[in-house]
C-alpha cells in the first residue's frame, strides 16, 4: 500500500517537473515548483511512516515551511522584477500615485 502511494506521488512529481520546464509563464513554472515541493513533503511523510522513522513528521514540516517561504520570496521577486521594468527608482509594491493620476 505504501509502495503504491509512493509511486503515485513520484508520478505527480514527474508531471510537476514537466510542467515546471514547459510552463508558458514564470508563474506557471513557480506553481509547478511549489507543487513539486508539496509532493516532496508527502513523499517524506509516506516514506518515513513506511520505514518506521520516528522524526519523519518533523522533517516533513520543516521542509514544508522552507518550501512555503521560498515560494513567497520568489513570487515577490517576480512581482517586483516585472513591476520595475521601465522604472529607475525603487518603489513599494503597487502602483505609484503619479502613475494612477496619469492614467486618469
Domain ranges of the chain: 2-103
**What is the per-residue pLDDT for 13?**
96
Mean pLDDT by 10 residues, the chain (104 residues): 94 95 88 94 94 91 94 87 60 54 62
Q: How far is CA 18 from CA 5, 13, 32, 41, 99, in A?
A: 20, 9, 9, 19, 39
List all residues 6 or more positions away from 83 whose beta carbon is below 8 Å from its beta carbon: 91, 93
Is 0.75 topped by the overall pTM? no
Amino acid at each position: 500500500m505504501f509502495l503504491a502511494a509512493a509511486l503515485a506521488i513520484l508520478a505527480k512529481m514527474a508531471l510537476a517537473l514537466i510542467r515546471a520546464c514547459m510552463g508558458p509563464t514564470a508563474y506557471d513554472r513557480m506553481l509547478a515548483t511549489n507543487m513539486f515541493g508539496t509532493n516532496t513533503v508527502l513523499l517524506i511523510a509516506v516514506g518515513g511512516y513506511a520505514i518506521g522513522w520516528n522524526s519523519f513528521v518533523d522533517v516533513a514540516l520543516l521542509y514544508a515551511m522552507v518550501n512555503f517561504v521560498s515560494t513567497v520570496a520568489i513570487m515577490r521577486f517576480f512581482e517586483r522584477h516585472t513591476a520595475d521594468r521601465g522604472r529607475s527608482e525603487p518603489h513599494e509594491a503597487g502602483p505609484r500615485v503619479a502613475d494612477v493620476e496619469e492614467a486618469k
